Structure 1
Amino acid sequence: MTTALDQALDELAGRRPLLLASDYDGVLARLRDDPAAAVPEPGVGELLARLATVDGVTVALVSGRGVADLQATSGLTGPFRWVGSHGAEFDGPLTGDLAVRRDQLAAALAPLVEAVPGARLEQKPAGAAVHVRTVADRAAADQLLADVAAGPGADPALTAKPGKDVLELAVTDADKGSALLRLREELGAQGALYLGDDVTDEDGFRALAPDGVTIKVGDGDTAAAHRVPDLDGVRAVLERLAAALRA
């Protein structure tokens, strides 16, 4: 951990109300070919639960997964705030016209995905995602994502959320940045932290700038103010926070 990050965490721990938020996949759990196998790293659940018990501290999980999927896969329990589908699932599941559009989108994507061995279509509460992590033919994987972007994804009413070996299309324009700002305003938070590893987390980093403590996990260009190399670095951040908060 850098000296700058250590100092930022120490200063953050003195603020109340305090929002501590994190992405899930690639941050609290390792990325897996089978998303259902992405369980939290050892000890992470206990650390989050300890942090959430501190007076004036709110721990939030902000994920591209649907809330129900996130809760079931993670097995995490505690007084957490759950934000799913990149902020679209904030007050409950989609209903009405948005739900109809979501189902129509999945139907349009299905034949494209079925034509590429190893590709997978995931229907999400606010849209659908095309996964190519397990496509052996990488040229075919790239072409599928390009075809999705140029085909169904070209609809201006949809919001494209590219990620690592995945392209998600959502029927709302919610993102992790808007979700974090909403949480911060709702809580009246005087301090905020966000951990993320993927392209969609950049919205969160930008939203909390310049006062929030934003931490990129892994390599790549980022708007985050700080960086840790891997999930061991994430654990070190959580442990440092727990010590500073005496959790």
Structure 2
Amino acid sequence: MEQPHSASASPEYAALLRAGDRLLVALDFDGTLAPIVENPDVALIHPEAPEVLAGLSAQVRAVAVVTGRPARQVLALGGLDDVGDAIGESGRELVVLGQYGNERWSSNARRVVSPKPPAGLASLIGDLPRLLRRADAAEAWIEEKGLAVAVHTRRMADPRGAFERLLPVLTDAAKTRNLTLEPGRMVIEIRSSGMDKGVALRRLVEEYDAQGVLFVGDDLGDVPAFEAVAALRREGMPTLLVCSGSDEESTLRDLADLVVAGPDGVMEFLRRLTADLARD
């Protein structure tokens, strides 16, 4: 059930407000700041997001976008260079962590820092056409990301069936190459091991000496971040977990403190949070 206003009555939300300008706000991109669409190349950021993020940044320690997409792609789709300019005016910083934390861009440094592609990825990409045929999913769309590869089934006639046929085939292929497989909403991504959104979020908390954390996500790739935030809560840190709800994915609903109605609900919640922080 979507609960856009119930957070204000919860002890977790009240504790988050007390963190004030020591609060780190981190958000996923697809399904959270931008709607899920058939063609991810045109998944533009919610039209209200630039203004909302800039307004929120004035009240918190930092704002971060933590995404599975390449950082440069998110910068373009989100117009985040301009958002970074606006956030800089408040003396705060916008950080974009792309490819699950392997890439970093900030509104202060203005360049993407990225490692080399993982060993085994090139051979996997070369083998993908055969693997897709083996799973009767030859029409799946392959998206090469530089540090990862994603196989999308959303455009297929039976996207769920193709996804379920591909998952075990690609799991085996990733395992033999010591790569990590990340299932999502009609997409399977394969990337390097050792980094996920939970690791990335922990590093941000330490970097900014945050005394409170809000994370907003929508998909299975956000589970490690949810788990990291839950661990921080057990350590005594004020935290709040928000799920941008959809009909396609329900895992995060059971882990979240609050469920909102997609990117529209995220914008509504962030506006409410900004107003409440300003009052406190």
> What TM-score, normalized by structure 1, do the two folds share?
0.89
Q: Secondary structure at the match of 1:14?
A: helix
Q: Describe how 1:196-211 pairs up with structure 2 within 5 A.
A: 196-209=217-230, 210=233, 211=238
- Structure 1: distance between partners of 2:9 and 2:143: 38
Confirm or deny: 8 A CA contact 2:56 2:271 kept in the other structure. Answer: no
Q: Which amino acid aligns with 1:68?
A: R
Distance (whole Å) between structure 1 residues aligned to residue 239 and residue 262 of structure 2:
20
Partner in structure 1 of residue 146 of structure 2: 125
SS in 1 for 2:164: helix
What per-residue deviation string (whole Å, max 9, x for no partner) do you get for residues 225-247 of structure 1?
22223222211111012212339
Q: Give the alignment partner of residue 101 of structure 1, picking from 94, 116, 120.
A: 120
Q: CA RMSD in A?
A: 2.2
Alignment equivalent of 2:66, drawn from 62, 74, 98? 62
Q: Give the distance between the partners of 1:154 and 1:36, measured in 2 at CA.
A: 28
The change in CA–CA distance for 1:133 and 1:216 in structure 2 (over 3 A counts) is same
Name which of structure 1's ranges 171-180 and 114-123 shifts more when overlaid on structure 2.
114-123
Shift of 1:111: 3.6
8 Å CA contact 2:69, 2:100 repeated in 1: yes
SS at match of 1:20: strand
Q: Structure 2 unaligned runs (5+)?
A: 85-92, 105-111
Pairwise CA distance, 1:51: 1.6
1:40 alignment partner AA: I
Per the TM alignment, residue 69 of structure 1 is displaced from its structure 2 partner at its CA by 1.0
Structure 1 CA distance, aligned partners of 2:37 and 2:130? 24
Contact in 2 for aligned 1:23/1:201 (Cα 8 Å): yes
Q: What residue in structure 2 maps to residue 86 of structure 1?
A: 100
Answer whether contact 2:143 2:151 (CA < 8 A) is retained.
Answer: yes
TM superposition shift of 1:103: 2.5
Q: 1:140 to 1:186 in 2, by over 3 A?
A: closer
* 1:240 corresponds to 2:279: no
Contact 1:65 1:86 in 2 (8 A): yes
Closer/same/farther in 2, CA of residues 168 and 53 from structure 1, 3 Å limit = same
Q: Is the CA contact (8 Å cut-off) linking 1:94 and 1:125 kept in structure 2?
A: no
Local SS of the residue matching 2:269: helix
Residue 6 of structure 2 corresponds to 3
For 1:85, the aligned partner's letter is Q
Partner of 1:39: 44
- What percentage of aligned pairs have identical amino acids? 33
Residues 87-146 of structure 1: per-residue CA shift (max 9 Å, x gap): 122472122xx4453333322224434773541111123221111111113434432333
List gaps (5 residues or longer) in structure 1: none
- The DSSP-based 3-state class of the residue aligned with 2:251 is coil
Q: Which residue of 2 aligns with 1:143?
A: 165
Larger mean CA deviation between 197-206 and 130-139 belongs to 130-139
SS at match of 2:171: helix
Q: How does 1:8-27 map to 2 (within 5 A)?
A: 8-15=12-19, 16-27=21-32
